[in-house]
Structure formats: C-alpha cells, structure tokens
Structure 1
Amino acid sequence: MAEPKKLDMLNRDPNSINDELRVRFEDVIGEPESAHSPECAWNCANLCYEGGRKCCYATLTVLCSWLCGLCWGCEFACLTFSYIYSWTPGLKRFRLYCGMQQKFYETCLACCLGPCASTCGLLLSNIKISQG
C-alpha cells in the first residue's frame, strides 16, 4: 500500500477550492465614510470578531473534523467503488447495446430506403437547367 502523502501544514488549500470563503473582519463588515464608529469601537469589534471566529472554528474542528473526515472519506470511497464497479461497466454495456441498435437501423435503412434513394438520385441527375 502506498505511503500517505505528506500534508502541507502552511498552505492547506493548495487547489484553491475555497477561494470564495472570505470571512475575515474586513471581508464581512465595512463602514462607509458617512458612518464611521470611533476607532476604539472599530478595533474592539475587530478583535471580538476575529477572536470569536478563531475560537469557535478551532473548537468545532477539534470536536467535529475527525468525524467529518471519516464521513467524507467513506462517501468518496463509496462513490469511487460505485464508479468503478457499477457506472463504468453499465456505460460500457449501454454503448454496446446502442452500437448494435445503430448497426440494425443502418442495415434496415440501407435495405429499405437505399434502393429508393438511388432511384430518385438517378432520376434527378438527368435534370438539366439552362438559362433561356
């Protein structure tokens, strides 16, 4: 079995899958020029927001991340299993059936409509148009 890939502990979103998730204070709360609070209130709000966000996130990840990781790992394992042992063979079977149906219809059309189309083509090929 392959050794697990070492995790990058600094860049934890190397594929940028959560770029839209901006939740820093300045990304969520902003005061227009006409409605500025005192600096001490603004700094206090920033400290409370960031402290509460980091503390709550840290608590939730400690309590729940292992369970979420387990559930999502099982979910993707089941999806991978289903893809390999159900969807891919089913799609292959469907393509084979469709290929047979296509050959059947091609044969029917060539036998039934082919002679009629050839005759019409011969009749219409003798038409000559001249400008008078």
Structure 2
Amino acid sequence: DLTLCSLLQIDFEDVIAEPEGTHSFDGIWKASFTTFTVTKYWFYRLLSAIFGIPMALIWGIYFAILSFLHIWAVVPCIRSYLIEIQCISRVYSICIHTFCDPLFEAIGKMFSSIRATVRKEI
C-alpha cells in the first residue's frame, strides 16, 4: 500500500534497481548513486528557493478562501437546510402516521386471519 509520504521519499534504489545477476561496475554504481543523490538534493533546494515563496503565497490564499467559504457559506447553508428539513420531516411524519398507519393496520387485520399450511406428500 503506497501512501503519499512513501511516494515522496524516493531513494536511488527505488528508481535505479538492478535485478539479481545484472550488476554494473562498482565505480559506475557509486558515481551514479552520488550523481542522483546530489542532483535530487540541490534541485530540490533550487526549486524551493525559486518557487517556495510564490507557491506558499498561492496555497495560503487558496486555503484562506477555502476556510472563508467553509465558515461563512457552506456550514451556515448546511445548518439552515437541516433546520428547514427538520420542520418538513415532522410534518411529513405526522401525515404518514395520520393516513398510512390506519390503512396498514386495516390491511394487516384483513390478512391476519389467513393461514398457510405446507404438506409434503411422498
């Protein structure tokens, strides 16, 4: 099961994996490992230096808007809806109990005298 955290923690062996029985020279392997690790490390730093502050600004604005909408629009709309639907559900419940309960009781009493028997003949 891959999680986001495990996807972001990529090591050299996760990307360049030589199968058993196929190995390059030790010097090549070590140089490749060093090149990969140093490149990943410095490019991350470089990209963070260039795009870190603008991306932080964009994500900050996005989550501020999301929080604002959630607090001032979404939750009040949902609560308002629940209050309205509660009133409607009570009226609906009263109507169902008033009209349907007697009908189903009468139908139940009509069919309560029916008896079914099962015979097994050999």
Q: Between Structure 1 and Structure 2, how many residues are aligned?
A: 115
Question: Per-residue deviation at 1:19?
Answer: 2.9
Question: Per-residue deviation at 1:34?
Answer: 2.0
* Counterpart amino acid of residue 74 in structure 1: I
Higher relative contact order (CA 8 A, sep 6+): 2
Q: Does 1:36 align with 2:23?
A: yes
* Counterpart amino acid of residue 115 in structure 1: P
Equivalent residue, structure 2, for 1:5? none
Equivalent residue, structure 1, for 2:85? 98
Q: TM-score, normalised by structure 1?
A: 0.74
Q: Does 1:74 align with 2:74?
A: no
Unaligned 5+ segments in structure 1 are 1-15
Q: How does 1:84-123 map to 2 (within 5 A)?
A: 84-123=71-110
Task: Please identify which structure carries the higher helix content.
Answer: 2
Please state whether the residue corresponding to 1:36 is helix, strand or coil: coil
Distance 1:57 1:119, change over 3 A: same
Q: TM-score, normalised by structure 2?
A: 0.80
What is the percent sequence identity of the aligned residues? 25
Please state whether the residue corresponding to 1:109 is helix, strand or coil: helix
Distance 1:91 1:117, change over 3 A: same
State the superposition RMSD in angstroms. 2.2
Question: Per-residue deviation at 1:17?
Answer: 6.0
Equivalent residue, structure 2, for 1:3? none
Question: Per-residue deviation at 1:104?
Answer: 2.0
Question: Per-residue deviation at 1:119?
Answer: 2.8
